[in-house]
Structure 1
């Protein structure tokens, strides 16, 4: 079946289970023979997974997403699809066999799902990296405009993201026949994309009133963009669909959108602070609306946005808050040096939310 590094066909996998069923039927007349047969089937399952692992590609050709799928990527899709066929065959075998001794085969079958995940990982990782690169370009756009906008225009980076995800869905993801599996793998990816968006959206500076309307529109467009991966958001007879399948992260996106339009006094009273929206996200968003005298956290360190974003992704909430605290302290020191009589109106609210966050995220 695996000669010449070829991926087995659906018919060949069906043939395996026809043979297995015949062996189980023959051996069922004697208990020790039946147990020995089940052990050999377990070895067959492991061997099948090993052969699929050897046939899978994990090089640059398997992870590229700038062109049409390569032969390596097409082979990986075939491997995932045939592993899914094998898993279905195994589930039917165990379900149809009236002997509990075959249940041990489901434990052996755990390697199947693991190999499917490993085979699709290079593609999903590249999609995540490309999405983050697109979000970085948001900082090149102008969000500092003031005033009212009747119809906010869609940001260029959002248009690029939508075009990118539409192409990925059409050229790469539609080739997977195991829809339930690929949808389950796309949910964590969608969550990561939402977190990337919120991270970068909260760091956009300056953020004027018209820019806030534009950013709020971007939040709605992100929902549409992710429907290209997860399908329409709603509910069906089998449960939630689309973004509703990633409840807490979707809730964060909706909450962040409403927070964009909050007034200064509303931030401190927001009940979802800390439970839905992290304190660090709220503080970043508030700083983006502050006068220039309040330095951005990355500016106090002499970092660019890209480096700061990478740092945020690698550190916990308390570490983020402590770094933001350094930004506020830098502002206070500068104000004292200039002998300013009053702090900016945002400062007391920033300090209060920072302290609240530090209290919640105390070291254990």
Structure 2
């Protein structure tokens, strides 16, 4: 009221040739004289919001999760504080600063309520009470974050700057409440995929070649994905229709990330399989179709995963191409060079030892599983260095025998490998 009065005095006494009734310095002095009212008002605003948060998340109590009604009460109070001052831009920003403090307090109290320990991230049995508590907490924080983002969207851009830290903290805490569960899920699915190296993709009988059943490891993977959907994801995700419409929440982001990682991890392991016969390629192609179906129906629409999905769809026909066709195939645009290089080992002679062969890297004794783990922590140049070393060893053996030509895969691998250091990093960054 005082600020509006001063603005009116300045406006109504703005007469040409006459000194202003209120100078800018005088206006600042009058505003400073009533500063105590502004300070008290903001203090009461923060006190009211903080008291509400403290009543919902009492300290040192742990284990009690507020109801939906409690969360709506907090949001309603925040909305009322904003509406009370929204006609004054400066005061609105000052109130948003106090709201930001209250949201940070809410994030701190919520973080204290997150359940941890084995029971909170087990993934083989039904959802435990502690996991259900974490799910509710995550959804509450997600609702608050979504509501605040919607509220800020109708305010000046600077409002987002004021609330960005608090909203980012809320988002992070919401993710932390279920992050260990998703990590445990991913580790379980990766352990199923790693069993691919225990399967026989070498020469198979005619019955195995025409068998429509998935490989044993793939059946276990499918069961695990269905279990995760039934026990965990169904409680965290919106309806499948909402996902297909592109609705992004904290949980859908985590599910999308997990689904992408599963496809990427499978492609990497599939490329390491050796030997791989023609009938083995048929079984591998069936497994690719099965994992696409399992992930798409029970985790996340695979068509919306972008690069990981394109990579899976490209790798399936690639394994059936002739070696001479690979270099010029447009399918390579959707595949990282390391995947192609590792797959080409399955087409080479026995004395072209792949990095996954223990006799190829005696100093490291890398099995396929350990080699995959090793790649997770290595740069593109190191991966190519190991592949190039095996190619050089092979070339030395050929020359020592006096042979006049190399295996057809040798020049192809050299050509593709030359692009590994330059392109691989960009490719995996795009996948992530």
TMscore range, shorter length: 0.7 to 0.9
Deviation at 1:266, TM superposition (A): 1.0
Q: TM-score, normalised by structure 1?
A: 0.86
Q: TM-score, normalised by structure 2?
A: 0.74
Choose from 143, 153, 157 the match for 2:217: 157
C-alpha change, 1:12 and 1:253, in structure 2 (3 Å) is same
Matches of 2:91 and 2:141 in 1, distance apart?
28
Contact 2:96 2:163 in 1 (8 A): no
Choose from 375, 398, 409 the match for 1:346: 409
Q: Which structure carries more relative contact order (alpha carbon 8 Å, separation 6+)?
A: 1
The residue aligned with 1:331 is 394
In angstroms, what is the RMSD of aligned CA positions? 2.7
The residue aligned with 1:224 is 293
The residue aligned with 2:187 is 129
Choose from 372, 388, 392 the match for 1:309: 372
The residue aligned with 2:316 is 257
The residue aligned with 2:327 is 268
Tell me which moved more, 53-62 or 79-88.
Answer: 53-62
Deviation at 1:337, TM superposition (A): 3.8
Deviation at 1:100, TM superposition (A): 7.6
Matches of 1:331 and 1:227 in 2, distance apart?
41
Whether 2:305 is the aligned partner of 1:246: answer yes
The residue aligned with 2:36 is none
Matches within 5 A, 1:286-301: 286-299=344-357, 300-301=360-361
Matches of 2:402 and 2:157 in 1, distance apart?
81
C-alpha change, 1:21 and 1:192, in structure 2 (3 Å) is closer
The residue aligned with 1:239 is none
Runs (5+) with no aligned partner, structure 2 = 1-55, 240-247, 426-432
Matches of 2:409 and 2:66 in 1, distance apart?
64
Rg bigger for which structure? 2
Residues 304-340 of structure 1: CA deviation (Å, up to 9, x unaligned)? 1111001112223332122111111122223344444
C-alpha change, 1:156 and 1:39, in structure 2 (3 Å) is same
Deviation at 1:357, TM superposition (A): 3.8
The residue aligned with 2:42 is none
Runs (5+) with no aligned partner, structure 1 = 232-241
Deviation at 1:27, TM superposition (A): 5.1
Whether 2:255 is the aligned partner of 1:176: answer no
C-alpha change, 1:306 and 1:18, in structure 2 (3 Å) is same
Matches of 1:359 and 1:176 in 2, distance apart?
40
Q: How many residues align?
A: 350
Contact 2:337 2:424 in 1 (8 A): no
